[in-house]
Structure formats: structure tokens, C-alpha cells
Amino acid sequence: MGKLDGRVALVTGAASGNGRGMAVRFAEDGANVVIADLDDAGMEETARLVKQQEREPFVQRCDVTRKGDVDALIAATVARFGRLDVAVANAGVVEADTDCLTITEEQWDRTINVNLKGVFLTLQAAANQMIAQGEGGRLIAISSIMGEWGGAGSPAYCASKGGVKQLVKSFALAVGHHGITCNAIGPGFITTQMTARIKELPEVEAFLTDKTPVGYIGDPRDVAAVASFLAGDDARFVNGTTIFPDGGITAGSYSNMMRLAAEAR
């Protein structure tokens, strides 16, 4: 038996990367999985992988920046499975090649809307459904090591992920007495479509590998393993925190790592 047998787990941004990894892991754990995204082809591939775990997924398009879409997603999930037990607010974007002096208002708004507003809307709708059910639940949001460190590049991404880290604390305080926990996962350098540029720059990949204490860059299975823990009964007393599957890189100094990178160039 899987530790999530009979439970219903929803993952936004599940068409690729960490979202796909978490959806497949939840299926391995026995959950009924809801796949939400805007990438139809990607969702189909995730659904195929979930079916390999002998689970029948439910797939629905959802723009997490629109409250109507998010509410419809939760309603459709309940109509299909009768309940919602785990919700992962994973959908995210990153603005590339910007800094605080060059980022446009459009780039800022899109990143904040998806990465922070979208997380808020997803957690809020899922929490209210879980409260109505009266049987507890698990809320999980995806932050990043960049929400812990900050950085000169991608300021909206850093701000949004730092906001997620604080947002889960507020939700944890609001829903804990309902038997619901809310936590965040802050991945380090993980091989996904979003970080594909790392693979295009061998010197950067080598540098990040060398500076990650475990000696390698992670993959979505490492994030999914943390999500599996937070979604299960073993994490019943974990609430309002962020867990960093990052190979130990945040144990060091970001500023020192960047200084070393500059010297390496």
C-alpha cells in the first residue's frame, strides 16, 4: 500500500519539470492525481507517466492568475473525486536577463502574478475546500533558494519566491487548527526546462556542480521526495516552514559563491 492511497493530490504547473515529478511521485504513492497547467502536450505526457503507475489522472487547463480558473479547478477536482487532500501550488515562471534597473513593468507583473498571486489563489481555494471537508489536508507551495538568497538577476522571481516563503507562514497560522498544514519547498539547482540554460553553458554547470556540497545538480525526483514527505502523515507536525532540497548549497554564502564565480571567469 502507498502512503497516499485513497487521497486526492492536485499539482499546478504539472506539465513538466518539478510539477511532473511530483505528480508522478504522488501516483507512485497511491494518490489520485489532478494535473493542472496551460501546456496541453505537456499535461498529456505527465498523464501518460501517471497512468504507468496504474492511476487514472484527471487533467484540466488552469491559469493560476485567474481566480475563476482556480475555483473551477477545485470544483472539477471535487466533482471527479469527491474531495481534495493535497494541493501543490507549483506553477511558476522566471524573467530572464533582467536586473532591478532593466526589468520592465510587464515582466514584473507577469512573474509576480504567476509565482505569488497564483500560489495565493491556489492555496486559498484548496484550503477552503479542505476546511469544508473537515478532515484536514496538506498545502504545499514551491519557493526557491532564490527566495532565501535574493540575487542581482531576476528580481521579480527572487521577490516572488521570498513572498511564497512568508505566505506559507500566514496560511499555516490560519489553517493549522483545521488539521491542515502548509509548507514550502525551496529547490536548489534542479535540472528542468526552466534551468535548461545551465546545460547550455558547461562552465556554469561545472561551477554549480562543484559548489554544491553533495557534488551534483539535482533532478525533479529530489523535489518530489520532499513533496511526498510533506503530503503524508509523517509530516503531520511540520507546519509553516520551508524545506530546501538543494544539496547543501544554502548552507554556504551566496555572495561568496558569486565572488568565486567572478574569479573563475
Going from the C-alpha of 108 to that of each of 83, 98, 151, the distances in angstroms are 35, 10, 15
Q: Rounded distance, CA 88 to CA 62, Å?
A: 14
Spacing of C-alpha 150 from chain mean position: 18
Instruction: Establish whether 254 is a catalytic residue.
Output: no
Smallest CA-to-CA distance from 203 within 152, 247, 258, 261 is with 261
Q: Rounded distance, CA 103 to CA 116, Å?
A: 17
Three-state DSSP at 23 gives: helix
CB 20 within 8 A of CB 14: yes
> Of these residues, 26, 120, 157, 171, which one is catalytic?
157
Residue with cell 513593468: 105
CB 188 within 8 A of CB 161: no
Three-state DSSP at 119 gives: helix
Q: Which letter does DSSP use for residue 151 in this model?
A: -
Grid cell for residue 114:
504567476
Grid cell for residue 256:
561568496
- The C-alpha R_g of the chain, in whole angstroms, comes to 18
Active site residues: 157
